[in-house]
């Protein structure tokens, strides 16, 4: 419902016609290293004290110098994390707490470009790597938690 309200009239397709699974990187059909990912998330859950993974996906992150890198995106009930999508799924930095978020921008096209704006001036810019449109699911996860 949160995604429908946030994206109404702004994006033609946003994944409303498919089942939303949320933590895609924990699924063997999405991530061949799902066992390593699940272990890394349990360690992160212990150290950062979050309760639930609301969304995860492989992404192409772009930095402020227009350099791209493959990463994994993790959205929990308290923060957004960039993870190294290599062998260990280690958090790149401390997570961006949901209180630091000031806005969210998505492209209207099929490229799945997302910008998470924050109050520190270092926005997170990425495209979701998937043949399915998962932007609506990400927006729904962030909006439902942000407005709680």
Which DSSP letter does residue 16 get?
T
Model pLDDT for residues 11-53, shown as the tens digit of each residue: 666 666 778 899 999 999 999 999 999 999 999 999 999 999 9
Assigned token pair, 115: 């910008």
From edge to edge, which strands make up the β-sheet containing 53-62?
A: 96-97, 79-84, 68-76, 53-62, 124-128, 113-118, 101-106
| Rounded-to-integer distance, Cα 51 and Cα 17, Å | 28
Model pLDDT for residues 74-107, shown as the tens digit of each residue: 999 999 999 998 879 999 888 999 899 998 999 8
What is the residue whose two structure tokens read 């699911």? 137
Query: Looking at residue 143, what is its pLDDT?
Result: 83
Q: Which domains does the chain have, with CATH numbers?
A: 2-146 (2.30.29.30)
| Rounded-to-integer distance, Cα 14 and Cα 101, Å | 21
């Amino acid at each position: 419902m949160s995604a429908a309200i946030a994206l109404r009239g702004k994006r033609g397709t946003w994944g409303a016609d498919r089942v939303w699974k949320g933590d895609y990187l924990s699924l063997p059909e999405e991530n061949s290293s799902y066992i390593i990912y699940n272990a890394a998330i349990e360690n992160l859950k212990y150290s950062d004290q979050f309760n639930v993974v609301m969304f995860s996906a492989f992404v192409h992150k772009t930095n402020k110098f227009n350099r791209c890198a493959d990463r994994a995106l993790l959205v929990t009930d308290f923060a957004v994390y960039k993870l190294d999508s290599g062998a260990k799924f280690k958090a790149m930095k401390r997570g961006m707490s949901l209180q630091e978020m000031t806005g969210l921008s998505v492209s209207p096209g099929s490229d799945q470009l997302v910008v998470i704006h924050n109050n520190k001036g270092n926005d997170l810019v990425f495209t979701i790597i998937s043949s399915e449109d998962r932007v609506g699911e990400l927006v729904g996860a962030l909006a439902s938690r942000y407005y709680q």
